[in-house]
Structure 1
Amino acid sequence: MTQAYYLLRYIRAGLVLVCISLAQLVSIPVIAAVDNSANGQSKGVRVYTYSKPDGTMAFSDTPPSEGHFMVRWYDCYACQVDSDINWQTLALHQHPFRDSIIRAAKLHQLEPALIRAVIHAESNFDVNAVSRSGAMGLMQLMPVTAAEVGVSNAFDGASNILGGSAYLAKMLRRFDGRLDHALAAYNAGPGNVEKYRGIPPFKETRTYIKRVKLLLHRYRAQSS
């Protein structure tokens, strides 16, 4: 991408993410810390967000020494193998981004239920979600992938859905319509699917596929 959204710096203790410019990001509220793990949020890496004196937003694996901050979980929502979420009864999001999902589904010849299931699995419909690896927004687009599908602002919900759907459709074509393979490629990269000649032996990826398909089944049932 021509404009960097952030600077990633890995340190021994964990990940530190510092925004280059707050103006390049959508607004993220800074409030007193709230642990969302008890409210259906996956238990992932704990990341603290807070405003620096110069107005930029900082992301760190340790809380600031003073001031207000917000705790966020930056792992793929459906990838946590030890998640205690009940995926059979988890509340669905049938209405958010309805028009954008329908538009993307028609454009890329995908089921709206599949797009909604992937959004749910990737970010739980958090338009501001950022992963440890740098994936952004609703469908968790990596910067390279966002550039590939023509998304200049991955934190814009409609743009993210169009780009993520384009990439998902590309993976389905690449793997001859095999959904499991396409989802594995979306999660772990198409190179790994080709390397292992099928679903990679990664627990997170296999868990992700299982949960996306369960969500797809449930969204199909609700829309029928």
Structure 2
Amino acid sequence: MKQGVTGIMLSLGLLWATGPAQAAEYYLYQLPDGSRTITDHPKLDSDHKLVCKSRNPVSLERYAAGHNSFNTAPAANYLRFENIIYTVANQHQIDAALIKAVIHTESFFNPNATSHKGASGLMQLMPATAERYGVTDLYSPQQNIEGGVRYLRDLMLRYPEQIKLTLAAYNAGEEAVDHYQGIPPYPETRKYVKKVLEKRAFYSNWP
């Protein structure tokens, strides 16, 4: 394992030296001897088994080296959806770290998650919310994230500059927030807001 991590660090250094900003995606491969390598272009030969890919080589290096601090969701799952998250975040001008934090809190990056209340997918959309935003497949990562982010954006417009109310409404509904004129006195909702903000701070500082 030490040999594999060393190889990854070397590959990472070479990538940064040649200009990481020029590459759209980076790829983490496992070789037949068990070692791993990161490259900025896909390998099509049978000796290179794709583990995951990302726009950020540091994220790949941390995953490969086994860094999993702050009880983060499995890095392989997070990296699977990273490109979708950044694309949708840019389209709707929403902080990508906030989207990651909501997904982490809602589903732990499990696209097949289903709650006992009927919420489904990465961002745990309720059927009515999914219909409202044109989501036809709740378990489609692309559709679920798109619908969830559009809902977040609308909540932000409804509660401008009040991220805590936005998150409370995402969890408990706009009606509850409006009724209490603030965060509802539900232990689950108060804990939810706190968790998402903590994870947002984490993802804001995590490559």
The TM-score, its normalising length taken from structure 2, stands at: 0.64
Match of 1:90 in 2: 71
Take 1:130 and 1:91, find their aligned partners in 2: how far apart are those partners?
A: 20
What is the percentage of aligned positions where both structures have the same residue?
43
Take 2:177 and 2:92, find their aligned partners in 1: how far apart are those partners?
A: 22
Bigger relative contact order (CA 8 A; separation at least 6): 1
Match of 1:22 in 2: none
Match of 1:149 in 2: 133
Shift of 1:133: 1.1
Take 2:93 and 2:152, find their aligned partners in 1: how far apart are those partners?
A: 11
Take 1:176 and 1:111, find their aligned partners in 2: how far apart are those partners?
A: 14
Structure 1 residue matching 2:204: 3-state secondary structure: helix
Structure 2 residue matching 1:95: 3-state secondary structure: helix
Match of 1:192 in 2: 176
- Report the AA paired with residue 119 of structure 1: I
Of 195, 198, 206, which residue of structure 2 is paired with 1:214?
198
The within-5 A match list for 1:13-92 is 89-92=70-73
| Bigger proportion of residues as helix | 2
Take 1:134 and 1:167, find their aligned partners in 2: how far apart are those partners?
A: 17
Take 1:200 and 1:123, find their aligned partners in 2: how far apart are those partners?
A: 22
For the aligned residues, what is the CA RMSD? Answer: 1.2
Structure having the higher Rg: 2
1:118-168 CA distances to partner (integer Å, 9 max, x unpaired)?
000000011111111110100000001001111100100111000000001
- Report the AA paired with residue 199 of structure 2: L
- Report the AA paired with residue 167 of structure 2: L
- Report the AA paired with residue 139 of structure 2: F
Runs of 4+ residues over 6 Å off in structure 1: none
Shift of 1:179: 0.5
Take 1:135 and 1:106, find their aligned partners in 2: how far apart are those partners?
A: 25
| 1:115 and 2:99 are equivalent in the alignment | yes
Shift of 1:95: 2.0
- Report the AA paired with residue 215 of structure 1: K
Structure 1 unaligned regions, length at least 5: 1-87
Question: What is the total number of aligned residue pairs between the two structures?
Answer: 136
Of 82, 100, 104, which residue of structure 1 is paired with 2:88?
104
- Report the AA paired with residue 89 of structure 1: F
Match of 1:204 in 2: 188
Match of 2:151 in 1: 167
Take 1:179 and 1:122, find their aligned partners in 2: how far apart are those partners?
A: 17
| Bigger proportion of residues as strand | 1
The TM-score, its normalising length taken from structure 1, stands at: 0.59
1:162-181 CA distances to partner (integer Å, 9 max, x unpaired)?
00000011111111131100
- Report the AA paired with residue 220 of structure 1: S
Structure 2 unaligned regions, length at least 5: 1-68
- Report the AA paired with residue 113 of structure 2: A
